[in-house]
Amino acid sequence: MSNKEEIRALHTPPMTNTKFDTSQSIRESYKPQLSVTQENLNDTQGTITNNSPGQNHNHVELSKEEIDREINSIEQLPTDLSKLIDLFINDLKQPKYIKPLTVIQLSSLFQNFYTKFDRASFQYLSTIHSNSGSIGSGNGGNNDNGTTAENNGNTSGNSNLNGNGNGNGNNHGSQPAFLVARETLSSGLSGIFARSRSGSGSSLRRGRRSSSLFSIDSSNVQPLLSPEEIQKQLRTNELNNYKIDKLMSLCEREVFRRILEVGTSVASPPKEELVTRANHQKKTFNVTNLFRNSPEFIEFDKLLSEKLHTLSNLANHDKIDLVEFLKLPVGKNPNIESREAFDETEDLFTNLVSHTIAPCEKIAVILKIHESMMFSQEMCNDDFLPMLVYYIIKVCPKNIFLNAQFIKLFRNKKKLVQQEMYALTNFEAALVFVEGLTCTDFISSSQEKLTDPEKDTLQMPISSKISLPSPLKNSGSVNVDVTLHEAHPEAIRSNSYDGFKYAFDTSLKNIFGKIRSYTPPVQPINLPRSSSTLSLEVDKKASSSPTRNGVAPQPITTSSSASTTTTTAAQLHEGWKKYKDHKFEDLKVSELKEIFDIYQKIMG
């Protein structure tokens, strides 16, 4: 091994020095010893995938079963986290924005919420883990040696970094209990960072470490974690990451499910209608509602649908030969045109546009569409893309463009990476290809067969008629983020009374409709300040408090606006009298502010 390294060191120039020709060096270094390189490459991959503990301490390999077991144990969101969703939806419905939010601004709010939820999930799991750690250590002690271990579990939980390992002096026989108790000390990331760096030594040091741990005068010495303990901690961390992923996808589902429950209609419909609508909506979620304030998207989608229908008709009436036009790989897979393949894909498309709600569910369907098209593990994009275009034209799914944009904007950006991102890009590329198709793309014999309306539809690319907001115009990637931060100056919040009045008509409510008042199941406004173990205060301050302290003290519906005026007058009258007998010198700042508010109301 050292030999190989030496060879490499001799021939690989420092990458930071321009005087060396890197490509030349690499070529010269590796060419004569291709087998060595190959071996090296395999070695390194083996190291990573096989998790040889001696070489790679930082990597933890979890078996698929193990992950599945842990993940499947989470079936629904814990109440503490579920409350966050209630608060978010409640916050969305506050009339606090001067202008109706565009879909991009709305997406930004969702992405911010996902980030907060992610943090909260981490805190939640850390709390759970540290709690169960304490209990576990207590039990372990009872099972093994008796009361000492139990005490260790409790005391150590309180004295994190001092690491009171010496308390285990009486506990020589119960190593497992000791390990569990020690784990309590270092639950959470801080614990790991604080301790694992000193525990990264080899197992040879273990004897010495133990002796210092158990000695009486070691109270100020921070005990080291053994490699096993580090592994255990890392495993817990890794599992927590998977759990957070699961919680995040549950969160995505739950947010949109609740938006569905709240309804999206503008007027308040009668009760019976509401029930029917709710049932209907559960089956068919219409993403169009979210794009209500961004009509360019809806228009684009409409034109694309028209184009797709035209192309589909042309293909069905043999006016164009799609297979030939797209150069489908029929030679490799003759089933492309079969009825079964079409039916299967059609079902998936229907599922995508009609029977799925959350973006994570929709992107999973897009991945399934790719899977269903796959006739070989070695299939490349020379084959995928034309097939995707073919099926999109043949199936003509409704609102396909809006669905793709919905995923792009509302899927948790942290998870919209790798193969999900690739599949979505492929999907979008297929749509961009279709929207850009014009008559001139087809052979002249096909062009002659077109009727006038067909020619009109295929006259020019849709993108030359409708300009979408800049981040989406390129439609290449979902780097929504950057644009969102630019395009979303905190959604133009207003603290002025004028803005407040205006907000009645033009608040975010208009996006979700002037919906029947939504009552979240658990404590809609009262934050889980005292009861919750989560430290959500910071998040709350960022999201909800501006609303409560500033613009909209309570959720106010448009229907109540008439009565509000009279109430205000009555309150105003009370306010006048309240400070009648006060002297200016005695007034507190808060009272002065109140008087100023009254003054402003009078002037208003």
Partner 1 sequence: MNSSVTSIKLVLLGEAAVGKSSIVLRFVSNDFSENKEPTIGAAFLTQRVNIGEQTVKFEIWDTAGQERFASLAPMYYRNAQAALVVYDVTKPQSFIKARHWVKELHEQASKGIVIALVGNKLDMIENGGERKVAKEEAERLAEEEGLLFFETSAKSGENVNEVFLGIGEKIPIKKPGEQANEQSGLRITDDQRVDLTNSVDGPVRSAGCNC
Using CB under 8 A, which residues numbered 29 to 88 contact partner 1? 30-31, 34, 37-38, 41-42, 44-45, 47-50, 58-59, 61, 64
Nearest residue to 127 (alpha-carbon basis) of 541, 527, 536: 536
Task: For the segment 322-361, give every residue that binds partner 1 (CB under 8 A).
Answer: 326-327
Q: How many CB atoms lie within 10 A of CB 431?
A: 24
Residues of span 431-460 touching partner 1 by CB under 8 A:
432-433, 436
Residues touching partner 1, count (CB under 8 A): 71
- Contact window for partner 1 (CB under 8 A) among 285-293, 425-433, 502-510, 583-591: 425-433
CB 518 within 8 A of CB 93: yes
- Out of 128, 179, 315, 385, point to the residue binding partner 1 (CB under 8 A): 385
Closest CA to 301 of 402, 437, 427: 402
Tokens representing 368 are: 């399934």
Among 15, 204, 267, 562, contact with partner 1 (rule: CB under 8 A): 15
Show the tokens assigned to 513.
């409709």
Contacts of residue 527, defined as CB under 8 A and 6 or more positions apart, other chains included, come to 87, 536, 537, 540, 544
Q: For residues 98 and 429, which CB has a smaller minimum distance to partner 1 in the complex?
A: 429
Q: Of the candidates 86, 91, 361, 428, which one interacts with partner 1 according to CB under 8 A?
A: 428
Region 228-247 residues binding partner 1, contact defined as CB under 8 A: 238, 241
Member of 423, 508, 536, 551 binding partner 1 (CB under 8 A): 423
Burial of 78 (0-12, 13-18, 19+ CB in 10 A): middle
Nearer CB in complex with partner 1: 35/566: 35
Residues 98-137 that bind partner 1 (CB under 8 A): none
Tell me if 211 contacts partner 1 by CB under 8 A.
no
Which residue, among 232, 242, 237, has the nearest Cα to 67 in the 3D structure? 242
Nearer to partner 1, 113 or 500 (CB): 113
- For partner 1, give the closer residue by CB, 415 or 514: 415
The piece of 125-133, 196-204, 472-480, 589-597 that touches partner 1 (CB under 8 A) is 472-480
What's the closest the beta carbon of residue 511 comes to partner 1, in angstroms?
24
**Whole-angstrom distance, CA of residue 144 vs CA of residue 174:** 6
Q: Which tokens go with 185?
A: 């000390």
Instruction: Classify 97 as helix, strand or coil.
Output: strand
Residue in 7, 12, 286, 523 binding partner 1, rule: CB under 8 A = 12
Nearer to partner 1 (CB atom), residue 244 or residue 303: 244
22 binds partner 1 (CB under 8 A): yes
Supply the minimum distance, in Å, between the C-beta of residue 16 and partner 1: 3
CA distance 387 to 385: 5
User: Look-up: residue for tokens 């490499």?
Assistant: 8
Q: Is the Cα dihedral 403, 408, 413, 418 positive or negative? A: positive
Stretch that binds partner 1, among 100-108, 208-216, 283-291, 476-484 (CB under 8 A): 476-484
d(CA 154, CA 133): 10
From 2, 16, 72, 563, residue interacting with partner 1 (rule: CB under 8 A): 16
Span near partner 1 by CB under 8 A; candidates 21-29, 207-215, 217-225, 283-291: 21-29
Q: Find the shortest distance in angstroms from Cβ 394 to partner 1.
A: 18
Q: DSSP string of 316-384?
A: HTTSS-HHHHHT--TTT-GGGGSHHHHHHHHHHHHIIIII--SHHHHHHHHHHHHHHH-S-TT--HHHH
Determine, following the binding rule CB under 8 A, whether residue 252 of this chain makes contact with partner 1: no
Provide the token pair at 11. 């021939």
Which residues ranging from 396 to 415 are in contact with partner 1 (CB under 8 A)? 413-415
Contact 450, 319 (CB under 8 A): yes
Nearest to 513 by CA among 97, 100, 98: 100
Interactions with partner 1, residue window 361-380 (CB under 8 A)? 367, 370-371, 374, 376-380
Judged by CB under 8 A, the residue of 217, 382, 448, 581 near partner 1 is 382
CB of 84 to partner 1, least distance (A): 20
Residue 519 CA to residue 79 CA, distance in Å, equals 16
Contact by Cβ (8 Å): 307, 392: no
CB of 474 to partner 1, least distance (A): 7
Residue from 274, 315, 421, 439 binding partner 1 (CB under 8 A): 421
Nearer Cβ to partner 1 (64/583) = 64
